[in-house]
């Protein structure tokens, strides 16, 4: 199995998504209710100063609507209980990264959060995955930071991981991730602090297409994306920042749950043959996360 970590176009040497083994698409997602959510910790430019504007009732309504939209797409939704005092736990994509090994073992790699206010979330997630029957492991480097599926993203339907670093996760963690999953990892450097996680600026749609905000990456990372994806859709600055359109949920390569009031992205996705389902996660965007950050695909 290929467990190479790629950090430059020159290192690809013939790698293509087509020669990566196929993997099953997950049909289940994990969510955490917004029982204790508030945009309290200004860890992103979007969250700064927004706590007073968060409407808990509206946040709950938006979360439930997203939950129902996922169910309507044919996905099973599992719930992890919210923990008092953990305001950001609702963003359940960040605390861990999961997938299948080549032997189809369900594996959960625990995150190591950069900010102290979020570190207790990991223990709660660990308990859930152990109870669910996953093999759970932590990174060997205890000083490294890694924010789970916020920065590590599976290529649709293929044994290939995209890994972001620069703000929340360290570049070195992907060598271990590649070994654990026996999967190649393409590493992308984030350079725009408005997009601290990879999933805020990079959204694979199908095996051949991706939605990105180019100004979030350095030149080498953009070259890697353009080499491996034949079809690139670029988000406008306003929709990438205000609507977090790259933090969309893609179901089965056919349906995209997209933040509402993003006509440019919706038009391009529709032209690509995607069914666009508008959702509203505006109360959560104030806390730095959109629809994708509120759920994580699990097996």
Classify residue 143: in a domain, yes or no.
Answer: yes
Question: Which of the residue ranges 40-49, 100-109, 160-169, 191-200 would you say has the lowest mean pLDDT?
Answer: 40-49
User: What is the pLDDT confidence band of residue 40, given thresholds at 50, 70 and 90?
Assistant: low
Would you state the pLDDT for residue 13? 86
Classify residue 15: in a domain, yes or no.
Answer: no
Classify residue 259: in a domain, yes or no.
Answer: yes
Classify residue 204: in a domain, yes or no.
Answer: yes
Query: With contact defined as beta carbons under 8 Å apart, do 98 and 124 qualify?
Result: no
Cβ burial 249-278 (10 Å sphere, 16+ → b, else e): bbbebebbbbbeebeebbebbeebebebbe
User: Residue 48: is its pLDDT beyond 50?
Assistant: no
Cα distances (angstroms) measured from residue 22 to each of 102, 126, 160, 163: 10, 27, 9, 19
User: What is the pLDDT confidence band of residue 63, given thresholds at 50, 70 and 90?
Assistant: very high
Query: With contact defined as beta carbons under 8 Å apart, do 57 and 65 qualify?
Result: no
State which residues form the domain around 86: 24-157+200-214+231-298
Residues 6 or more apart whose CB falls under 8 angstroms from that of 34 comprise 56, 59, 60, 63, 82, 90, 284
Would you state the pLDDT for residue 206? 98
Residues 6 or more apart whose CB falls under 8 angstroms from that of 263 comprise none
Give the mean model confidence (pLDDT) for residues 165-188.
98
Q: How confident is the model over 236-289, as pLDDT tens digits?
A: 999 999 999 999 999 999 999 999 999 999 999 999 999 999 999 999 999 999
User: What is the pLDDT confidence band of residue 50, given thresholds at 50, 70 and 90?
Assistant: very low
Classify residue 113: in a domain, yes or no.
Answer: yes
The CATH number linked to 54 is 3.75.10.10
User: What is the pLDDT confidence band of residue 49, given thresholds at 50, 70 and 90?
Assistant: very low
Classify residue 124: in a domain, yes or no.
Answer: yes
Classify residue 175: in a domain, yes or no.
Answer: no
pLDDT > 70 in the chain, percent? 95
Would you state the pLDDT for residue 214? 98
User: What is the pLDDT confidence band of residue 14, given thresholds at 50, 70 and 90?
Assistant: confident
The mean pLDDT of the chain is: 95
Classify residue 219: in a domain, yes or no.
Answer: no
User: Residue 290: is its pLDDT beyond 50?
Assistant: yes
Overall number of domains in the chain: 1
């Amino acid at each position: 199995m290929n467990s190479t970590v790629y950090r430059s176009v020159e290192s690809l040497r013939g790698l293509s998504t087509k020669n990566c083994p196929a993997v099953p698409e997950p049909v289940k997602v994990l969510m955490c209710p917004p029982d204790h959510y508030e945009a309290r910790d200004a860890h992103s430019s979007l969250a700064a100063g927004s706590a007073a504007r968060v409407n808990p009732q509206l946040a709950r309504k938006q979360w439930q609507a997203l939950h129902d939209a996922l169910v309507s797409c044919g996905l099973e939704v599992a719930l992890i209980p919210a923990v008092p005092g953990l305001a950001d736990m609702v963003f359940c994509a960040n605390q861990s990264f999961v997938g299948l090994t080549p032997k189809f073992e369900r594996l959960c790699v625990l995150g190591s959060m950069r900010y102290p206010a979020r570190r207790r979330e990991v223990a709660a997630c660990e308990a859930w995955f152990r109870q669910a029957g996953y093999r759970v492991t932590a990174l060997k480097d205890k000083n490294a930071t890694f924010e789970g599926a916020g920065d590590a993203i599976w290529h649709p339907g293929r044994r290939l991981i995209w890994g972001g670093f620069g703000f929340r996760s360290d570049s070195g963690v992907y060598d271990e991730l590649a070994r654990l999953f026996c999967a190649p990892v393409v590493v992308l450097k984030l350079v725009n602090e408005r997009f601290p996680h990879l999933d805020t600026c990079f959204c694979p749609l199908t095996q051949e297409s991706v939605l990105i905000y180019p100004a979030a990456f350095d030149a080498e990372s953009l070259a890697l994306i353009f080499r491996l994806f034949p079809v690139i859709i670029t988000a406008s600055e306003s929709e990438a920042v205000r609507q977090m359109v790259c933090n969309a949920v893609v179901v089965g390569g056919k349906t995209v749950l997209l933040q509402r009031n993003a006509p440019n992205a919706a038009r391009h996705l529709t032209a690509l043959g995607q069914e666009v389902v508008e959702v509203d996660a505006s109360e959560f965007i104030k806390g730095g996360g959109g629809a994708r950050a509120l759920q994580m695909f699990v097996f």
